[in-house]
Amino acid sequence: MPLIHWGPDDLLRRLDDVLAVYGAAMAYPRDLIFSRRSFVASHAARPGFRAVATLADDGTLLGFGYGYTSSPGQWWHEQVRAALPRPVYHSWMDDCFELVELHVSPEAQGHGTGQGQLTALLTGVPRSTVLLSTPEVPREASRAWRLYRRLGFLDVLRHFHFPGDERPFAVLGRSLPLDPPAPGKRRS
């Protein structure tokens, strides 16, 4: 399964495939998935944009991840900033890469695809921290949660509610650079 780096045009060219993987991985209804089309497309123009994709031999998109430099004025940045005490905000968000999406299609999960994508995406990011948000429930059974913990992500904010979403989220972060995984560690 080849893992490749994408530029903004690559993401936009495969936007339907990206949204299909996103929807399958998150088990979201179709109308919600495609309502995010313009958001995802606009993210490709953000400063510091980076993306990776995992493809099957036939070119089918199996997974993707992307992020960019988190900056004041961006919706997610402002929501998280408002919930953090000032010193915590500055230590985590003054020089931050925002991991916006990281998804693997259900049939490709459990084979190290997510860890490979996350590692490739964060390697060489010229920022001092990375932050992401992920649903709180069901974290114990979530491959994503296990991956983030295994790679050293810490709690920054817990049980946070973004406007328009009833689910609680956790904001997790870690310092950069990303250290390579220890030999022999199981990947998911």
Active site residue 28: no
Q: Catalytic: which of 22, 66, 68, 148?
A: 148
Distances (CA, A) of 103 to 41, 93, 115: 16, 23, 10
Q: For strand 129-135 and strand 154-160, is the pairing parallel, antiparallel, or unpaired?
A: unpaired
- β-pair partners for 157: 171
**How far apart are the C-alpha atoms of 148 and 65, rounded to whole Å?**
14
- Tokens representing residue 109 in the block: 């999960």
**How far apart are the C-alpha atoms of 181 and 60, rounded to whole Å?**
27
**How far apart are the C-alpha atoms of 103 and 164, rounded to whole Å?**
22
Q: 73: Cβ–Cβ under 8 A, 6 or more apart, which residues?
A: none
**Which residues are identified as catalytic?**
148
